[in-house]
Structure 1
Amino acid sequence: MAEITGDQRVQSEVLEGLATAVNHRRWFVELAVPHLGDNPIEIGSGLGDYALAWADHFPRFTATEADPDRLVALKERLAAQPNIEVRQMLLPHSERGDYSAVVSYNVLEHIEDHVGALASMRDLVRPGGTVVIIVPAFQFAMGPADIATGHVRRYTKKTLAAAMTEAGLTVEKIHYANALGLIGYFMATKVFRLMPKEGPMVKVYDTLVLPATKAAEQLVRPPFGQSVFAVARVPA
């Protein structure tokens, strides 16, 4: 089974830093909610920030993590949430399930066999359910921060759609998100070689820039973005 690559300490520091970007998380939570059905499972829950937000919308929610140490912390954090099950999961796998949807944010880019990982996600979902994905966009933005956190690749709409189709999924919705975030990320991580951790830059962007970006992109989909968002259907 393929484990997520990269420095676990650096990954944890980045996750902790990005946890402060509450407006960003709220936006990306909202993107997925209409597509998740009644019993979704998240692949790669990390610190559990998204799981906690999504679980408010559903009677049952399953959070998963591959890293054993992070899994222990995730179980401790979510122990008080009766509608959340926490379990370990590595991709690819041979398990089959009956979940209404799989949601996985910023995980696929860590996995060499991304088609196999998507096929594993597909097999966890009942026929007619969905696989909802967010991945980082555009290979030109691959820099030291990506490498340190274990990114194998970044995506375009075309490359993500091709991987999902090869995995036996039917892409129904795909678009870029957070256009200004791509510019900021490129400048911060590739030009100035900073890590996307907690700090004044993240807070200013999340408080002042992100709300305007979200409002604009709800009116007009941008031709580029920091992330690719996709919804694909499991064939009935």
Structure 2
Amino acid sequence: MSTNLPPLTLFGALRWDVVRRRLPASGVRVLEVGCGQGAVGVRLAAAGYDYTGVEIDRASAEVADARLAGAGLPGRVVHGSVESAGLAGGFDVLCAFEVLEHLADDAEALASWLPLLRPGGLVLVSTPAWQARFGPMDTAVGHHRRYDPPQMRELLRGAGLTDIGGRLYGMPLGYALEAVRNRVAERRLAADGTTTAERTARSGRLFQPSSAATGAAVTAATWPFRVAQRAFPRTGPALVAWGRRP
């Protein structure tokens, strides 16, 4: 894998450790809905996947596209919605990391994405977990909800997916990170007069590291926690889930 990888956030590093273990062998076509600034997209392209990202926030899409180009990697980033992107379909994997919670009608959105996936293709999503944990940061970044695991399974089953599975992650570091984010939101973000759409658009730009040194520090600092969370698939403040299109 290329060493010229964009830095992940602390939470992003925990998430990527789970996500990468669910991906099929490289060489398949991957669509990432809501690719943000491309930290995951560059990793997918560097690992040999045929990568396409879609991002509705123009500033984030431009960063993601520049990061792919700067790493000398194939792949593309399309600014816009899935509906406006003009995608041909036939993808082997459809990813949506921290996206569904931003959508007023998550079931309708998921149903509209699935025709882009080939039969037998994998859907892989991540969301914040446990509605009872909904807090100031959820409001500040435009979340409509969080997901209890049974709710997520029902959402995927209702879309017609099979071979549904999931696991929680983020134990124990994720709890501390959420507490800090909620405190920041209470003081600076939650009541700043923005609309839900504006909060959603900026969500992919918050807490984003930019330097290689910061990325290296995140990698080093999260290593023990990435290892530790593997032992707690039923505990954590965040969720990764998957299913297959019949």
- Normalising by structure 2, what TM-score? 0.74
Query: What CA distance in whole angstroms lies between the structure 1 residues aligned with 2:53 and 2:128?
Result: 21
2:156 is the counterpart of 1:167: no
Residue identity in the other structure for 2:207 = K
Q: Can you list the C-alpha shifts for 1:127-183, whole angstroms capped at 9, x where unaligned?
A: 001100011111222211111111111111111111111112124321111121342
Amino acid at match of 1:213: F
Aligned to 1:72: 62
- In the TM superposition, residue 204 of structure 1 has moved relative to its aligned partner by 8.4
Give yes or no for contact 2:165–2:242 (8 Å, CA) kept in 1.
yes
| Aligned position for 1:5 | none
Q: Spell out the pairing of 1:71-220 with structure 2 (5 A cutoff).
A: 71-80=61-70, 81-90=72-81, 97-190=89-182, 193=186, 197=207, 207-208=220-221, 210-218=222-230, 220=231
Deviation at 1:82, TM superposition (A): 4.3
Aligned to 1:51: 41
1: CA distance between counterparts of 2:88 and 2:154? 23
User: Shift in Å at residue 112 of structure 1?
Assistant: 0.8
Kindly state the Cα deviation for residue 206 of structure 1 after the two structures are TM-superposed.
6.2
Do the aligned residues in 2 keep the contact of 1:29 with 1:53 (CA within 8 Å)? no
Question: Contact between 1:45 and 1:64, CA under 8 Å: does it hold in 2?
Answer: yes
> 1:118, CA displacement in angstroms?
1.3
More deviation in 125-134 or 170-179?
A: 170-179
Whole-angstrom distance in 1 between the partners of 2:87 and 2:38: 23
Query: How far apart, in 2, do the equivalents of 1:131 and 1:157 lie?
Result: 16
Query: How many residue pairs end up in the alignment?
Result: 215
Q: Choose from 8, 16, 37 the match for 1:19.
A: 8
TM normalised by structure 1 equals: 0.76
| CA distance in 2: counterparts of 1:30 and 1:66, whole angstroms | 24
In structure 1, the partner of 2:212 is: none
Cα distance in 2, alignment partners of residues 79 and 205 from structure 1: 23
Distance across 1 between alignment mates of 2:76 and 2:25: 20
Please say if residues 123 and 243 of structure 2, whose CA atoms lie closer than 8 Å, have aligned partners that are also in contact.
Answer: yes
Instruction: Report the AA paired with residue 245 of structure 2.
Output: V
Would you say the 8 A contact 2:171–2:225 is kept in 1?
A: yes
The runs of 5 or more residues in structure 1 that have no matched partner are: 1-15
